[in-house]
Amino acid sequence: MSQKLWEKNTQVDHEVEIFTIGKDREMDLFLAKYDILGSLAHIKMLESIGLLSGQELDLLTHELKRIYRLAEKDEFVIEEGVEDVHSQVELMLTRQLGDIGKKIHSGRSRNDQVLLDLKLFTRAELQELTELTHELFIALLTQSERYKDVLLPGYTHLQIAMPSSFGLWFGAYAESLTDDLTFLQAAYKICNRNPLGSAAGYGSSFPLNRQMTTGLLGFDSMDYNVVYAQMGRGKMERTVAFAMAGIAGTLSKLAYDACLFNSQNFGFIKLPDSFTTGSSIMPHKKNPDVFELTRAKCNKIQGLPQQITLISNNLPSGYFRDLQIIKEVFLPSFGELKDCLRMVTYMMNEIEVNKHILDDDKYACLFSVEEVNRLVLSGMPFRDAYKKVGLDIEAGKFVPEKVIHHTHEGSIGNLCNEHISVLMQNIIDSFSFEKVNEAEKKLVEQ
């Protein structure tokens, strides 16, 4: 059986049909729950403007909630011959309710329907990403405090430079995540606006109450201009992808550090044996595959904004089928990034650090700047102190003083972790997820 919302009497060529549907049925399973959620809000609005009776609203609401529960349990299926999630939901309604099921599409198009689905899906995924990023942040800041007094080499140009510490190393990545979430918050605000009612991009002659659906779905506001609502498709995904790429960039850099520091040439950190994999030929190998895969997956995610840009950047206003392809790269990317966040958090909680790295004499020159500063504090001009220490190093006479006295904000002796923690909490609090969660709960509760 074929089920398409737009089908009339003409049968589409089979090969054309296969090509144009593409992976849409597979991708739409990501959106099923949100398509039903949007329909629950839409029919309440239709009843309020007289396009549904109270009895019809009750029947449709009851059936949509039943279908929603199927989607929540991953039991929602798009049947063979059914084009997309919208067609499947309407088919299920008409099987149970007859012609009443056909009334839910009044006042909307598949264009604004999928726009809405994407926004509802994306804001839910952004909430999960925020929570997982916060969990990694806590793990990193906890380790920063635990190992704040353990020194390790700092590098520039991959050459030993100045003393650093595990407090700084862990804490740096924690603070990086605060900037990443600030960017994610901006993307969330762009996402959390209601496109429903824009129909095919030019509004409707029905007296739709767009403010009502905006409130029912917990949006901050609507996309007011109906043409812009359609123009936002691709733009929203690209903006969110850039924010995801920020988190991915932080994870990728952290993963690279971990691979480097775990190698025998460095020996700064150690992973539990159960967290590593072996070689099929070399019995001594303990490979940091989780970090290597994290690095690759996150580098892939950092390419996502460019993919979306190249699909959508030469389109004029209005809807085009090109936009369908964005779903194929965009929707699965959230699962990949969430997996990376979970695994890196797990690894960071269990990582072991080497507390005696700087006992090795090859790191003696790390303390050259400390000696220059000591001489300056005793009255020697900086250029003279710099030259003296340089000559002592070249002559093999430099004896480092390995006691560090850094006190300014953000340095080894003053990490400012408490300020970083407050910064992160302020960002988390300002998302206001509670409003959205409460609105969605009211729509689907028994």
Asked if residue 36 lies in contact with residue 117, where contact means CB atoms within 8 angstroms, the answer is: no
H or E element that contains 156: strand 151-156
Q: How far apart are CA 171 and CA 86, in angstroms?
A: 46
Strands 193-194, 221-222: pairing kind: parallel
Residue 356 annotated to the active site? no
Q: How far apart are CA 96 and CA 103, in angstroms?
A: 13
Residue 279 annotated to the active site? yes
Nearest partner of 126 among 186, 184, 174, judged by Cα: 184
E-strand stretches of 103-217: 151-156, 159-165, 193-194
Strands 352-353, 269-270: pairing kind: antiparallel
**Per the residue annotation, which of 14, 157, 284, 408 is the catalytic one?**
157
For 281, other C-beta atoms within 10 Å of its C-beta total 6
H or E element that contains 154: strand 151-156
Q: How far apart are CA 241 and CA 299, in angstroms?
A: 12
**Per the residue annotation, which of 2, 53, 221, 279 is the catalytic one?**
279
Q: Which residue has the tokens 């994407």?
A: 118
Helices (H), 192-269: 210-216, 226-231, 235-262
Query: Across the strands, what pairs with 302?
Result: none
Which residues have CB under 8 Å from 176's CB, separation 6+? 250
Asked if residue 329 lies in contact with residue 117, where contact means CB atoms within 8 angstroms, the answer is: no
Query: Across the strands, what pairs with 152?
Result: 164
Asked if residue 172 lies in contact with residue 152, where contact means CB atoms within 8 angstroms, the answer is: no
Catalytic residues: 157, 279
